[in-house]
Structure 1
Amino acid sequence: MHQFAPVIQAEADSARAAIVAGDGSTAACNKARATAKDNVSSHVHSIITLEREQHVASLVQQGAWLRVANEEDADSYWSSLKFDLPRSTCSFLTRARLNVAPSFTNLHKWGKLSARFTWRHNSVVKALADGLTAAIKDTDKHTEVLCDLAPDSYSSHVDTIPSDILTTNVFPDITVINRSLKRIDIVEITVPFESVESFRNAESRKSTRYASLQNDLAGLGWTVKQHHIAVGSLGMIPKSTSHSLTCLLKQISGCNSNTSSLICKKMAKIALCCSYAVFNRRSDKLWLPPGPTKLFSV
């Protein structure tokens, strides 16, 4: 109670001053005391509310949820998606926002890491690769889209940087290559848990990871640009992803934002549905996701 002492003392002094300045009647004294009591109650309530908000914001899970809530409300893709889902999926979405779903970080805590998250990630990669391929199909014969989706194993890789361009052991998720212009667009996809920190950390990590590859390609005369595409595990599409994808599509095919919106909606739904599938089998340690040739699609 010591943090409230100054407020209580100040209001008591104010009440005494009001009584002295008044006419001395019982009604005036009672009114001064009631006013002081209400003021103390209001100040104490404000202090307690502020302390609670600061405490919640400092918590790892609850604080992350509060910070991402505003961004989710501003995300039109996510806002429209959540009203067009089965009841069970919506229930999962609510629990997952509280960070009690089997995210990568949580499974690491619980000791239950598996290929199921690679299945989700690769499903999103395939949706984006298919969208990019369709966009350039009838507009640019010199551009090819390569994606790191090996058909035999989740642990295998595809040379998304062809060996005739550069021999490397780095495998971006998707590359868009125009040999006539000597231009390569590196597209990296992440499906993190939906916290502001997760999106920022993923983008920073990917940028650092491919810095040396970009320098090597630039040294060979190639124009290289990296695009980070983040899709939240619950289907949230941050504004940075929409902007990056729109710019990429406009550059490689001249497509407008409508094409970008359609691809974003498809990736969002795939990420959420895959997360829900993983959630439903969270207690089954023996469950394996469908093979690399049976990625989820909508």
Structure 2
Amino acid sequence: MRKGLHSSGSELRGPLYANGGCGTAFIHPVVSPAARSTDTEDVERPSFIRFNDSKVARAGIEVRTGRKWKAHDAVAQAEARLKHSELTGTLAHGRAGFGSNTKPIYSKTRGKERRKLIQDEVRAEVEEARGSKIVAMGQQGAWSRWEHASNRRISWADLWKFEPHRIKFLIQSVYDVLPTPSNLFRWGLADTPQCPLCQKAGSLEHILSCCPRALADGRYRWRHDQVLKAIADAITSGIISSKHQQPTKLQITFVRAGEKPHQRREKGGALLASARDWQLKVDLGKQLKFPESIAETTLRPDMVLLSETTRQVLLLELTVPWEDRIEEAFERKRAKYRELVNQCRSQGWQARCNPIEVGCRGFAGQGVRKSRAASVE
């Protein structure tokens, strides 16, 4: 997880990472000597010799990098992987469709671009080896199964702003080393692994997401409302700032005689900039009633963002699931409001539903980024 001097973006990232001015990162439990070697300029030197100076390349100079990891072997392996990737193509991850992730073709690159491809491929190979070891850890490596949770960036400003116990909870919860009843029993510090509230197995997942007594006492509801209030405040600030923005002007592109127009990818306009009368209704305290002017329903979305002049309505439904079940919660919430969205559309409204997933340990799902991009960008 260390980062060499003058290197760019070379840390091996887990669910928590830092990208500050000093290039620091959270120390991960599994860091091999090869990972430390690839975070220096050892990968850059052999690729520089190979591609930039043919005379030096023929001199047979070997870069010494130790016994466990050799730069020349790693570069050769990376080249083979890149050539093979030309046949398989770029793989899509998460909800991305085919062609969403583009990558330069190795055989068509030269110079600096080719060197960067090799460096990234060497680090990717080391990351794969480290990942296979992490997956084998049933408890501390459980975060590797968070396929739909975004990495959480921790800056130096956050470290100075957060209280020590919050940073401690965040790191320990990721690797499941908090003093839960199950862990205390496993470590020999407690007589029983049961939850003190409901007498079931007191694992971290049970305490943060599955305890029926905590649900009945309103603890999960309180946490849900705190997250909802923070998101609502951010949307309110976006609505206020969008009222002072000038509407985007349509640019006319002139084409000279005999030339063909260049096809440009038109970017969709921001949602908040498309109207000036946005209203945000938030279900805090179970008091929200869906506007009857749009549709009659007994459902209560967490947030309703509507504009009467443009007849647009956006349903935002927040869920705070266990990070392993973010995708399941997303599909459940979307299916819940599918009929209401269709009912709004039948009344002449431009309606859609965006579920927002924030894990119970603070890791946001893709719905947060998607909703933000559609609203303010």
Residues 1:65 and 1:51: Cα distance change in structure 2 (over 3 Å): closer
How far 1:239 moved relative to its partner? 4.6
In 1, are the aligned partners of 2:344 and 2:351 still within 8 Å (CA)?
yes
1:120 to partner: Cα distance: 1.4
Match in the other structure for 2:236: 133
Q: Distance in 1 between matches of 2:368 and 2:298?
A: 26
Q: Distance in 2 between matches of 1:53 and 1:233?
A: 22
Q: CA deviation at 1:83?
A: 6.7
Q: 1:158 aligns with which of 288, 291, 314?
A: 288
Counterpart-to-counterpart distance in 1, 2:134 and 2:154: 29
Runs of 5+ unmatched residues, structure 1: 1-48, 151-155, 251-298
Question: How do 1:232-243 and structure 2 match up within 5 A?
Answer: 232-243=359-370
Q: Residues 51 and 199 from structure 1, CA distance in 2 versus in 1: closer, same or farther, beyond 3 angstroms?
A: closer
Give the structure 1 partner of residue 167 of structure 2. 90
Match of 2:278 among 143, 152, 157: 143
1:78/1:236 contact within 8 Å kept: no
State which drifts further: 223-232 or 107-116: 107-116
Q: CA, structure 1 residues 174+93, in 2 after alignment: closer, same or farther (shift >3 Å)?
A: same
Q: Is the 8 A contact 2:135 2:144 kept in 1?
A: no
Give 1:185 shift. 0.7
Alignment pair present for 1:124 and 2:227: yes
How many pairs align?
190
Q: SS at the partner of 1:236?
A: coil
Identity of aligned residues (%): 24
Partner of 2:356: 229
SS at match of 1:142: coil
Amino acid corresponding to residue 280 of structure 2 in structure 1? V
Deviations 1:227-257 (A, max 9, x none): 222222232234542232121224xxxxxxx
Q: CA deviation at 1:147?
A: 0.7
TM-score, normalization by structure 1: 0.54
Match of 1:66 among 138, 144, 163: 144
- C-alpha separation in 2, matches of 1:50 and 1:144: 46
Q: What is the match of residue 153 of structure 2?
A: 76
Structure 1 residues 89 and 219: CA distance shift in structure 2, 3 A: same
For 1:179 and 1:240, the matched residues in 2 are separated by: 25
User: Does residue 1:204 correspond to 2:337, yes or no?
Assistant: no
Cα distance in 1 between the residues matched to 2:364 and 2:155: 7
Letter of the 2:234 counterpart: G
Q: Return the TM-score normalized by structure 2.
A: 0.44
Q: What is the alpha-carbon distance in structure 2 between the residues aligned to residue 51 and residue 147 of structure 1? A: 43
State whether residues 77 and 236 of structure 1, in contact with CA within 8 Å, keep that contact through their aligned partners in structure 2: no
**AA paired with 2:224?**
H
Structure ranking higher in helix proportion: 1
| Partner Cα separation in structure 2 for residue 225 and residue 126 of structure 1 | 21
What's the CA shift for 1:62? Answer: 4.4
User: Which residue does the alignment assign to 2:315?
Assistant: 186
Matched ranges for 1:1-298 at <5 A: 55-56=136-137, 59=138, 61-68=139-146, 74-76=151-153, 81=158, 84-99=161-176, 105-106=206-207, 108-109=210-211, 111-113=213-215, 114-137=217-240, 139=243, 140-150=275-285, 156-159=286-289, 161-193=290-322, 195=323, 197-250=324-377
1:64 aligned partner, one-letter code: A
Q: 1:158, 1:104 → 2: CA distance?
A: 30
Shift in Å at residue 169 of structure 1? 0.8
Residues 142, 97 of structure 1: CA spacing in aligned structure 2 closer, same or farther, 3 A cutoff? same
* Aligned-CA RMSD value: 3.3
Alpha-carbon contact 2:318-2:356 (below 8 Å) kept: yes
The alpha-carbon distance between structure 1 residues 55 and 76, as it changes in their structure 2 partners (threshold 3 A), is: closer
> Who is 1:44 aligned against?
none
The 2-side partners of 1:131 and 1:50 are apart by 35
Structure 2 residues not aligned, in runs of 5+: 1-129, 181-202, 244-274
SS in 1 for 2:284: coil
Q: 1:172 to 1:93 in 2, by over 3 A?
A: same
Structure 1 Cα separation of the partners of residues 367 and 220 of structure 2 = 23
- Change beyond 3 A, Cα 1:120–1:110: closer
Report the AA paired with residue 225 of structure 1: R
Answer whether contact 2:141 2:175 (CA < 8 A) is retained: no
Contact in 2 for aligned 1:75/1:239 (Cα 8 Å): no
1:249 aligned partner, one-letter code: V
**Which structure is larger by alpha-carbon Rg, 1 or 2?**
1
